[in-house]
């Protein structure tokens, strides 16, 4: 299951994100999304967990909690719209 993690501190890196979620199960991938031009974090990321029950437990445990001074918004990721991130075609 792929999870969306919003409201990340701009200093949070992929290792910190991975470690936070590994407390709740196996993590296949942890990605902090960066701006293409500046390389700076955009304040959100995605975590992929192979076990849906562990992913749901992570959502329950981490949504609304604080990481590096910011309150996390964690939920199941929605599919990307056709044509890219903003529906471009």
Q: The whole model's pTM is what? A: 0.88
Whole-number Å distance between alpha carbons of 56 and 83? 29
pLDDT in tens, 25-34: 999 999 999 9
Supply the mean pLDDT for the chain.
93
Domain boundaries, the chain: 2-76
pLDDT confidence tier of residue 89, bands split at 50, 70 and 90 = very low
Q: What is the mean pLDDT of residues 45-65?
A: 98
pLDDT at 22 exceeding the cut of 80: yes
The sign of the dihedral angle between the CA atoms of 4, 21, 29, 60 is negative
Q: In what order do the strands lie in the sheet with 73-76?
A: 29-34, 41-48, 2-6, 73-76
Q: Give domain 2-76's CATH number out of 1.20.1440.130, 3.90.1580.10, 3.30.590.10, 3.30.70.330.
A: 3.30.70.330
pLDDT of residue 81: 77
């Amino acid at each position: 299951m792929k999870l969306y993690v919003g409201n990340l501190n701009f200093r949070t890196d992929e290792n910190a994100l991975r470690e936070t979620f590994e407390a709740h199960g196996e993590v296949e991938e942890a990605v902090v999304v960066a701006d293409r031009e500046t390389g700076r974090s955009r304040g959100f990321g995605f975590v992929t967990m192979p076990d849906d029950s562990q992913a749901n437990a992570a959502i329950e445990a981490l949504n609304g909690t604080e990481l590096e001074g910011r309150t996390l918004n964690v939920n199941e990721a929605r599919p990307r719209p056709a044509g890219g991130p903003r529906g471009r075609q």
